Structure 1
Amino acid sequence: MTTARVVSVSSDDEHRFTKPPREAITLIAGLGVEGDAHFGATVQHLSRVRRDPTQPNLRQVHLIHRELFDEIDADVTPGQLGENVTTEGIDLLGLPRGTVLRLGADATVEVTGLRNPCLQIDRFEPGLLKQVVGTDHEGHTIRKAGVMAVVLAGGVVKPGDAIAVELPQAITEPLSPV
């Protein structure tokens, strides 16, 4: 069994698709990744700001499982799909909403939902959107481009940090796009 860990961390102070890898990122409770373009208590995603800038920011931290890179037919490295934290050894997509992830010694995030990738992913790599969004044998949409989370407790997160998973105690609900 693989121990869940952080493979890479990334951030960017501008709204670009790809985020450059960093030696460490600092998570701030209720706001997200310090210095990242999506940092804030209310929505920062540009299209969502245009619709309603007062919505709570449920997308403060974007996490993707490194194993996705093995599944897709593209040469992708951590941060290139816009994630802040690249993980390994954890089934992010199988977690229920409300799961708490402890990243390293101090940081804690709560999973809010699935990332809903847009056409920007095809601008990065033509055909990639069809690889990360598809349908199952029953016709249900399957999204593989990671999960979104809010920061419950701040702290520094760096590659190699362990990830501990705390499932919700109450009745769980599957992840949906946020």
Structure 2
Amino acid sequence: MKVISVNISKAKGTKKEPVEFAEVIENFGIKGDSHAGNWHRQISLLAVESIEKARGWGLDVSSGDFAENITTEGINLPALPLWTKIKIGDVVLEVTQIGKTCHDKCEIFKKVGKCIMPTEGI
């Protein structure tokens, strides 16, 4: 597995922007990210292969557009069993959910009638 991008946003419901460095706080998430907190899904991941699939639908999308914190390459994320541990550098993440609810039908869903996060994000 390769990390393509690490992304954060200051406000929920906005595109996450790539950052050069991120501080991960245990049992909280990425410092400065709007989705960090004391809950079961502190950091979300999406494979670049899934983003490429969305490009095949005619969308101009890139890392962070699906509000994922970490964009990966070379790992089938939705095939991972719950509670799988993923080591990225010094950080160990645990899969607590497959799929990420598309709240209020995101802009991508509104454009093409479907979204990849509910089935391919973790």
Aligned partners of 2:4 and 2:48 also within 8 Å: yes
Tell me which protein shows more strand as a share of its residues.
1
Matched, 1:37 2:31: no
What letter is aligned with 1:24?
A: F
Distance 2:97 2:37 in 1: 17
Measured against aligned partners, the alpha-carbon deviations of 1:76-130 in whole angstroms (never above 9, x if no partner) come to 10011101000000000000000000012x0111000121223342x24633452
RMSD of aligned Cα (Å):
1.8
The structure 2 residue matched to 1:110, chosen from 90, 94, 113, is 94
Matched, 1:143 2:111: no
Matched, 1:8 2:5: yes
Alpha-carbon distance change, 10 to 129 in structure 1, aligned in 2, over 3 angstroms? farther
Aligned partners of 1:117 and 1:129 also within 8 Å: no
SS of corresponding position for 1:102: strand
The structure 1 residue matched to 2:67, chosen from 78, 82, 107, is 82
Matching of residues 43-54 of structure 1 within 5 Å: none
Alpha-carbon distance change, 82 to 128 in structure 1, aligned in 2, over 3 angstroms? farther
The structure that has the greater radius of gyration is 1
Identity %, equivalent residues: 31
Distance 2:94 2:112 in 1: 27
| Higher RCO, 1 vs 2 (CA within 8 Å, ≥6 residues apart) | 1
Distance 1:35 1:131 in 2: 26
Unaligned runs of at least 5 residues, structure 2: none
Normalised TM-score (structure 1): 0.61
